[in-house]
Structure 1
Amino acid sequence: MVEPIPSITLPPAHHPEREGEWLQQKLQHWLDTEFLPEIINQVIARRAAQIFVRQRMEGEDDLGALVMAIIAEMQAFDFSQSFYSEFAIANAVSDLLLDSLGIDRCCGQ
């Protein structure tokens, strides 16, 4: 029988604004290095970080719920000037957070 993947809970947010600044910088760097450095990447990173900070300030610690919130709210974002989508952004945020926690994200481990 297949076991469900356990949820990942982030540590409590003591300084969500600082987390948001860190996330915005890391996400923009990821966006700029994954394809091309473009101004729209700054806007995307800022918006994703704003969503993240608001969710954390509201007490959300579950990584899956944070990813879903980013997907849902970024659906209204105009990605026409970008190579990315709300799914790519949410996945990148998840990867960055997992890396920061020292969790290996390869192969479902």
Structure 2
Amino acid sequence: MSDPIKPIILPPPTDPQQEGEWLQKALHTWLDQEFIPEPINQTIAQRAAQIFVRQRMEGENDLGCLVIAIVTEMQSFDFSQSFYGEFAIANAVSDLLLDSLGYERCCGG
């Protein structure tokens, strides 16, 4: 029987606003580089960062729970002017956070 995947727990936030600003910039850059730069990318990055900051300020440090919160809350966002959807955004946030923590995304190590 295989072992369950261990959760990835982010360090407690020291400055959630600064984390949010970093995430917004990093996600906006990623969105613009992944396809073509679009004005909606800034709005998407702002919304995802707002969700992330609020979750962190409420004490959520589990990366999986943060990803689910972003997927759930971004479902109400109008993606009609974008190539992206809520799952792509949540996965990008996860990848950016894993990169910033030094995790190897392909293998989880």
Bin of the TM-score, shorter chain as denominator length: over 0.9
Question: Does residue 1:83 correspond to 2:108, yes or no?
Answer: no
Structure 2 counterpart of 1:7, which letter? P
Question: Does residue 1:4 correspond to 2:13, yes or no?
Answer: no
Question: Does residue 1:92 correspond to 2:85, yes or no?
Answer: no
1:71 corresponds to which residue? 71
Matches within 5 A, 1:4-23: 4-23=4-23
Measured in 2, the distance between the counterparts of 1:90 and 1:84 equals 10
CA RMSD of aligned residues (A): 0.7
Deviation of 1:29 after TM superposition, in Å, equals 0.2
Structure 2 unaligned residues grouped into runs of 5+: none
Deviation of 1:2 after TM superposition, in Å, equals 1.0
Identity %: 73
Deviation of 1:14 after TM superposition, in Å, equals 1.1
Q: TM-score, normalised by structure 2?
A: 0.98
Where 2:107 maps in the other structure, the secondary structure is helix
Structure 2 counterpart of 1:72, which letter? T
Give a deviation string over 1:31-76, Cα, whole Å, max 9, x none: 0000010100000000000000000000000000000000000000
Measured in 1, the distance between the counterparts of 2:20 and 2:45 equals 10
Measured in 2, the distance between the counterparts of 1:24 and 1:88 equals 15
Structure 1 unaligned residues grouped into runs of 5+: none
Measured in 1, the distance between the counterparts of 2:75 and 2:7 equals 24
1:104 corresponds to which residue? 104
Deviation of 1:108 after TM superposition, in Å, equals 4.2
Q: TM-score, normalised by structure 1?
A: 0.98
Structure 1 counterpart of 2:10, which letter? L
Query: Which stretches of structure 1, 4 residues or longer, exceed 4 Å deviation after superposition?
Result: none
Structure 1 counterpart of 2:40, which letter? I
